Amino acid sequence: MENKTGKYLKYAIGEIVLVVIGILIALQINNWNESRKLESSELNILVEIKENLISSKKELIKVMDYNKNTIRLNKKIYYALTKDLPYEKSLDTAFSNLRYWQSPYLTFTAYETIKNKGIDIIKNDKIKKSIIHIYESQFTYLVNDYDRSEWVLAQSVVYPQYVKHIRRKNKIIAVPNDYEALKKNDEFINMVHEIIILREDGILDVTKSLELTQNLIGEIDNEINSRK
């Protein structure tokens, strides 16, 4: 009886051990599957972020090129007025563009997805910090603060001065009502100078954002390739 009892105990213990091992293996497989799902989700999000950044990069280049051209035209007006130069035909285009600038329309779709799922889904701390910085700081500043500054200046100063002193002939040509009087109009000249300064500051921020965007695209590329 003792031998039989011992055998039964060994058998029962063996069964328990097998059940425990089976449970542990199942848990391990489940954890492995969950880990694979999370990694797959992370990689998909990184791909989406990269695509959004490429789109935003194109937009930033477009904004920079357009606004650099407006700076060039505004400097032409400022130089002509402050140097008491005679009116020339090329100023028609400069005056027609005086009240315009390009606003940045950047893509936040993938970043919003990350925020909904939790930023910690990104395992690489450097990439995580770069993503947060570029969207919460750089892009947010350009879309909100810088663009708002342009709108405030345009609405409160530029548009009132423009309709008072400039007459539009068509979409690309505008001329001053009294060009000679504008040379002595410090308020108008100061306005042109303020536009130039504000836009040059904006170009610096766009340039910085472009650099950070390109760097982050490279970091994401390296991360994705390292997982293959």
Give the span between the Cα atoms of 209 and 16, in whole angstroms: 61
More confident residue, 8 or 219: 219
More confident residue, 100 or 13: 100
Q: Using alpha carbons, list the distances in angstroms from residue 43 to 40, 119, 220, 222.
A: 5, 13, 9, 12
**pLDDT tens string 33-63:** 556 666 778 888 999 999 999 999 999 999 9
Stretch 1-27: mean pLDDT? 64
Please give the pLDDT value at position 128: 93
Say if CB 40 and CB 117 are below 8 A apart.
no
Say if CB 81 and CB 183 are below 8 A apart.
yes
Confidence of residue 225 (pLDDT cuts 50, 70, 90): confident
Q: Per DSSP, what are the bridge partners of residue 167? A: 175
**pLDDT tens string 164-209:** 999 998 888 999 999 999 999 999 999 999 999 999 999 999 999 9
Please give the pLDDT value at position 192: 98
Please give the pLDDT value at position 205: 95
State the Cα torsion 134-137-139-144 to the nearest 10°. Answer: 170
- pLDDT of residue 117 exceeding 80, the answer is yes
- pLDDT of residue 78 exceeding 60, the answer is yes
35-39, 54-58, 67-71, 136-140: least confidently modelled range: 35-39
Q: What is the reported pTM?
A: 0.82
Give the span between the Cα atoms of 120 and 13, in whole angstroms: 42
Say if CB 188 and CB 38 are below 8 A apart.
no
Please give the pLDDT value at position 150: 95
Query: Mean pLDDT in the chain?
Result: 89
Q: Using alpha carbons, list the distances in angstroms from residue 120 to 47, 124, 126, 194, 226.
A: 16, 9, 12, 43, 19
Q: Using alpha carbons, list the distances in angstroms from residue 18 to 15, 25, 29, 143.
A: 5, 10, 16, 61
Confidence of residue 220 (pLDDT cuts 50, 70, 90): very high
Confidence of residue 68 (pLDDT cuts 50, 70, 90): very high
Give the span between the Cα atoms of 20 and 178, in whole angstroms: 93
**pLDDT tens string 82-98:** 999 999 999 999 999 99
Handedness of CA 152, 154, 159, 165 (dihedral sign): positive
Report the percent of the chain where pLDDT is more than 70: 85
